[in-house]
Amino acid sequence: MVKFMLKCFVLCSVLLFGVLIGMQQANQGMLKMKGYNDPELQGAFQVESEQTGDVEASILGNKVTSQDLQQKQEQLEQIEAFNFFSQVGKQFASIVSNGISTLVESFAEWINRFLR
Proportion of the chain in helix, strand, coil states, percent, rounded to 5: 65, 10, 20
Which pLDDT score is estimated for 100?
94
Under the banding of pLDDT at 50, 70 and 90, the label for residue 41 is low
pLDDT in tens, 11-32: 999 999 999 899 888 878 877 7
For the chain, percent of residues with pLDDT exceeding 70: 77
Residue ranges per structural domain of the chain = 1-41, 44-81, 83-116
Report the pLDDT averaged over residues 41-53: 68
Beta bridge partners of 46: 58
Under the banding of pLDDT at 50, 70 and 90, the label for residue 101 is very high
Which pLDDT score is estimated for 104?
94
Beta bridge partners of 56: 48
The dihedral region occupied by 60, where left means phi > 0, alpha psi between -120 and 50, and beta the remainder, is left
